[in-house]
Structure 1
Amino acid sequence: MLTPDSDRYISFCNIECDQNADLLVTLLDKHLDAGHGKEQWHSYFRNKQQEQKNMGRDNLNFVGNQLNVLYSYFAECDDSDALDLLYKLEQECC
């Protein structure tokens, strides 16, 4: 959960934005590799990840640009840990 010391409006110090974004993308990849969710999600996220790679963007940028669809996908996968991490990223880093 969020800690009282993690206020992005004061400082990004002690907020692990990049690490948490990397972890969230790892969770996303595990779900996609396991075939979880509808097929549309798989092609959508694989295309977006390829675009991210082509543009040289990091995972935090990817997460910030895909917040709403990530919420929908992880809800469909019933992954409360990923949803909690996504919320944390949104509140602290996006």
Structure 2
Amino acid sequence: MSQSSSCACRQPAAPDRYVSFKDIDCDGNARRIMDCIARHIAIPERNNAFWEYFMKKREGGTGPKPDDLFLIHCNINQVRELFETWDDQQALEWLMQLEEECC
């Protein structure tokens, strides 16, 4: 009995979902966004209880320390709102790039 080429046993394994991230510095790009956030919230009128909590989370203050990409991804709407509120077009471009390439 011959096996058909459409047999599941002959199909290549699904590619690693992270192959598309090859040669993209997602960690570096996430650090760049975190630097933008830190720059904004260093200005007292741009900081609030949320951003204080966010930065404590970054240090692992209430649990395991998340990586920057995960933390940004989980709070992407708040990060976007911060940059939009203060009209930081460069940070918005970098955030969009990070979201499209790495999240």
Q: TM-score, normalised to structure 1's length?
A: 0.79
Normalized per residue, which structure has more helix? 1
Q: Which has the bigger relative contact order, CA under 8 A and spacing at least 6?
A: 1
In percent, how many aligned pairs have the same letter?
29
Match of 1:71 among 63, 74, 80: 80
Q: How many residues align?
A: 84
Which contiguous aligned blocks of 4+ residues in structure 1 show a shift greater than 6 angstroms? none
Measured on the aligned residues, the alpha-carbon RMSD in Å equals: 1.7
1:93 aligns with 2:102: yes
Match of 2:55 among 39, 49, 52: 49
Rg comparison, structure with higher value:
2
Q: TM-score, normalised to structure 2's length?
A: 0.73
Structure 1 residues 25-40: aligned runs within 5 Å: 25-37=34-46, 39=47
Give the Å deviation of 1:49: 2.0
- Structure 2 unaligned spans of 5+: 1-16
